[in-house]
Amino acid sequence: MRCCRAAHAALARSDRAAIVNVSSVLGHVGTPMRLAYSAAKAGIEGLTRTLAVEWAPAGIRVNAIAPGYTRTALIDALERAGKLDAASLERRIPLGRLADSREIASVIEFLASPDASYLTGQVVLVDGGMSVGGDWDAQADAAPAADADSCALTPAPPAARTPG
């Protein structure tokens, strides 16, 4: 909030002003032992929507991204130390892998660009589908198999793909 306020005057003088806040998928899904973090990220999303409405007349667009789990040096270090099981996280993500930081950066770049000039007040989830299908294996195991007379098919979880 303080950064946004501090930037307001300069942004209001720009003809392409945009703010991209960073939230988290954990602002959308319940996660044990992450109360303060999840609440703070949900607050960023409320801030984003409110500023979008208040600052639109000044030509300032305000959006946010909500990344899912992303492969970073911290994740790698926690995994090496035995404090994190990335494979268990990947099982919760329908795309079957953690994000690459370039995938997150490209969405931020888009939201800040003129290509997104009609977007404001939006939160873009960049989470590999975690927020809509957060436990794919459990869903697939619980779903009945499709029969020949059924129109509904039970899809197999997608194979993990590398970005690019």
Phi, psi dihedrals of residue 67, rounded to the nearest 5°:
-70, 150
DSSP-assigned letters across all residues of 57-90? GGT-EEEEEEE--EE-HHHHHHHHTTS--HHHHH
Q: Which residues belong to the active site? A: 37
- Reported as a single tens digit per residue, the pLDDT across 82-109 is 999 999 889 989 999 999 999 999 999 9
Q: Torsion-angle region of residue 22: left (phi > 0), alpha (psi -120 to 50) or beta?
A: beta
| Domain spans in the chain, listed from the N-terminal domain onward | 2-142
Domain 2-142: CATH superfamily is NAD(P)-binding Rossmann-like Domain (3.40.50.720)
* pTM confidence score: 0.80
Q: What's the mean pLDDT when you consider all of the chain?
A: 86
Percent of the chain surpassing pLDDT 90: 73
Which DSSP symbol is given to 97?
S
DSSP secondary structure letters along 98-162: PEEHHHHHHHHHHHHSGGGTT--S-EEEESTTTTTSTTHHHHHHHSPPP-TT-S---PPPPPP--
pLDDT score, position 30: 78
Cα angle 84-86-89, degrees, rounded to a multiple of 5: 105
